[in-house]
Structures are given as C-alpha cells and as structure tokens.
Amino acid sequence: MKCLVALLVFVVLAEGIVRIPLTKHKSMREALREKGIEVPYQDPASKYQNNEFSTSANMYINNYADTTYYGPITIGTPPQSFLVLFDTGSANLWVDSIYCNTQACNAHTKFNPQQSSTYSANGRNFYLPYGAGSLYGIFAYDTVNVGGIVINNQEIGLSTNEPGQTFAVAKFDGILGLSYPSISAGGETPVMDNMISQNLLDANIFAFYLSRGGQQGSVLSFGGVDEQLYQGEIYWTPVTSETYWQIGVDGFQINGRETGWCSQGCQSIVDTGTSMLTAPSNYLGYLMQAIGAQQSQYGMYMVDCSQVNNLPTLSFVISGVAFPLPPSAYIMQHGYQFCTVAITPTYLPSQNGQPLWIFGDVFLREYYSIYDRTNNRLGFATAV
C-alpha cells in the first residue's frame, strides 16, 4: 500500500502562486518555541558550507472541488514548471516525461531532460502503485524548486508508462511525496529529507491548511507554521510508525458517546492524498446506521440533504484530546435532494493489527496539520 490517493474527475485551474514572508518581528526560533516546537541548535557557520540560507516558505496550492490539493514546482535548469499533488501518503517525487506516450502522459506537461543542464541519469527503473492508478518510470537527479526552496541533486522519477485512465483525468503532472523515506520506492531520498540534509529549513517541519467548499486559499508551509491559518492551541501526538504519517487513536465518539471501537487502540494514517475519511470496514455499517445513511445502487452512502444539520458529530480522541467532525465536514452537498457521505471503507488493518482509519482531506479541512520530522510527531489545531 504505497499511497491512498483518491482521484476524481478534475477541471483545469490556474497555477498557484508562491508567497514568501519578507519581514519578521520575532525570530523564527522564538515564534516556534511559543508553539511548542523546539529547533535544535545548528552551527551558524554551516550555512557557508551549504551556500544556502535556511528559510521558511508558504506557498498557495490549488483546491479542486475539495478532492485534490496540488501546486507548482519547477525541475531543471532552466526551470521547467509542473503541477504536483502534495501527498503525505507517499514518499517519491515523479512527473510526466517525454519518455512516456500513453494517454495519461500526453494529457500533461512533460519533463524534458535534454533541456536541463543540471540533469543526470540514474539508470534504475521503478514501479509505483497507488490506491488509484499506477505508473512505471526511471530515476534521475536534477535541481528542484518548491516554494522558492531550491534542492540540489534531488532524486526524481520520470514516467515511462502510465496505464489506464486514472492519471489521464488528473489535473496534476506528478506527485510529490512527503512521508518517511522508509516507504520510498527504490530507496530514493524524498524531497523533505533532502531539505533537511541540505540545511534548507529553519525547522524540519511542514504544515497544511486545506480550504473548504472548493474555494482557493489552501497553503503548504515549509520550515514554519502560518499562525493566521489556525486558532487556539496546537495539540501534539507522536508518530507510531515512521513509514506513513501514522498516529494512534484512543477513542471514537458519536455525538459525544464513546463507541468502544478503539478501546484496544486504533491507528490512523494522515494522508493529504486521500480525499475521504476512511473507516475500518467492520465498523462502516454501524457508522452509517448511526448517521442514518442509505446505500445507493452505486455503493455510495446517501442522506437527505434537508437533514444534514440533524446528523451526529463524529469525534476522534487523540492523545486525550477530542477532535470533532461536524456533519458539514463529512457530508458532500451537491445541491440535490440527496447528499453523499464522504466516508469510505478500508479492509486493511494497521501493521500491528489494530483497526486502521485514514484521515484524508475530510478531516484535514477542519484541522491545520503540522508534520514535525525532528520530533516525529503530528500537531493539530482548529483551522480558521
């Protein structure tokens, strides 16, 4: 299970723009310390060895219909521009390339190695299966720019074959994985790990704000957090498996009443590449009954749109803190009589056999999420 990407039909959106903060009133270390993030000491002279300054960057990313969040990067010298899905559920960076002539590749911008002076070949092949779609490709190295942060000699995947229709309808030209290197295909070094090793960040963290209602304004931050995008306290919980961004879940409540489903512990993978909230399959029937949803002929669960405000609030207890999801978060309203429940089943348990949830975009629109590689923990705060 390399990634849990849920892909729907997309429309073309304008490329995102990059916003780089230019002024500071507090030092980054002071601002991060106030939020419970302690930056380890680094020798000030190390910046001269790298010939780069550590930094932080906020970049706007596109929201398509609350199902996919993607944004711009460049690869090569001179830079070639691509739109990529920023995915915490996988670890590899790949883009469409001139070596691929399938329908999916021909529908997108292709990287041309012959036009980059900093490109170098790797010679190894790879295969990447996702929750939806798969591809074959070759590995290589080149300069990558993400939000103004320049990573030298970054491992990249260049597609050579993308079978099927899945990526053909996607509005992005590739995927940039942000999970741990242990699940990287071919053992390639992920973008975040190169940012860390090349000392490019003020702090070894990144954070997501996912906009709602198909509106734009989603933000991906590297090296810091954007205090304007959340309110209240950041609650931290440790990563339980340094593979995906996986955390423990202590309890699951329906309208404040504990179900007991996680009394022996549950696990959850926090995955920006999955659009839905995914529940353990053996609990799905009970959950839909509590919601009052009926299954359609196509297998989706539906509710009467006029009853949405009367549906229960679902809450996850994580490290002793309850994180509620109101019905507005897990119901997709289409303007018709019937609305879709944005909860799907997974049939796989976690590595330790505990029930597995996937906190996709349904959860992450409600909570600003902070991914701390130094301390191997995840932070959640109420999104604005």
- Local structure of 165: helix, strand or coil: coil
pLDDT band with cut points at 50, 70 and 90 for residue 2: very low
pLDDT above 50 for 21: no
* Over residues 320-329, mean pLDDT: 97
Residues whose CB falls within 8 Å of the CB of residue 244, separated by 6 or more in sequence, listed in order: 88, 89, 179, 180, 183, 269, 270, 271
pLDDT above 50 for 16: no
**What is the percentage of the chain residues whose pLDDT exceeds 90?**
78
The predicted-structure confidence for 222-258, as pLDDT tens digits, reads as follows 999 999 999 999 999 999 999 999 999 999 999 999 9
Residues whose CB falls within 8 Å of the CB of residue 47, separated by 6 or more in sequence, listed in order: 53, 54, 199
pLDDT above 50 for 23: no
pLDDT above 80 for 24: no
CA distances from 109 to 91, 104, 161, 230, 242 (A): 21, 10, 14, 34, 33
Q: Lowest mean pLDDT: which of 45-54, 107-116, 148-157, 240-249?
A: 45-54
Residue 226 known to be catalytic: no
Q: What is the dihedral of CA 7, 92, 159, 275, to 10 degrees?
A: 0
Q: Lowest mean pLDDT: which of 71-80, 217-226, 235-244, 295-304?
A: 295-304
Tell me how far apart the alpha carbons of residues 341 and 333 are, in angstroms, rounded to a whole number: 9
* Over residues 346-353, mean pLDDT: 88
Determine contact, residues 303/288, Cβ cutoff 8 Å.
no
Q: Which two tokens stand for residue 253?
A: 């409540």
Q: Would you list the DSSP string of 79-110?
A: TEEEEEEEETT---EEE-BTT--SHHHHTS--
Residue 372 known to be catalytic: no
pLDDT band with cut points at 50, 70 and 90 for residue 10: very low
pLDDT above 70 for 284: yes
**What is the percentage of the chain residues whose pLDDT exceeds 70?**
86
- Tell me the whole-structure pTM to 2 decimals: 0.86
Q: Which residues pair with 243 in a beta bridge?
A: none
Domains in the chain and their CATH numbers? 18-222 (2.40.70.10), 227-383 (2.40.70.10)
- Counting Cα atoms < 13 Å in the Cβ hemisphere of 251 gives 16
Confidence at residue 149, expressed as pLDDT on a 0 to 100 scale? 97
pLDDT above 90 for 88: yes
Determine contact, residues 248/237, Cβ cutoff 8 Å.
yes
128: closest CA among 99, 86, 93? 93
Task: Note every long-range contact of 263-267, with CB atoms under 8 Å and residues 24 or more positions apart, other chains counting.
Answer: 264/354, 265/354, 266/350, 266/354, 266/355, 266/356, 266/357, 267/240, 267/241, 267/350, 267/351, 267/352, 267/354, 267/355, 267/356, 267/357
pLDDT above 50 for 375: yes
Confidence at residue 32, expressed as pLDDT on a 0 to 100 scale? 52
Confidence at residue 33, expressed as pLDDT on a 0 to 100 scale? 57
- Local structure of 363: helix, strand or coil: helix
Tell me how far apart the alpha carbons of residues 120 and 127 are, in angstroms, rounded to a whole number: 20
Tell me how far apart the alpha carbons of residues 226 and 207 are, in angstroms, rounded to a whole number: 8
**Catalytic residue of the set 66, 87, 142, 372:** 87
CA distances from 59 to 16, 100, 300, 311 (A): 8, 29, 34, 35
* Over residues 337-363, mean pLDDT: 93
CA 363 to chain centre: 12
Determine contact, residues 324/318, Cβ cutoff 8 Å.
no
CB atoms within 10 A of CB 377: 19
Mean pLDDT of the chain: 88
**Catalytic residue of the set 66, 173, 193, 271:** 271
Q: What are phi and psi of 125, to 5 degrees?
A: -95, 160
Q: Taking the alpha carbons of 131, 313, 253, 243 in that order, is the dihedral positive or negative? A: positive
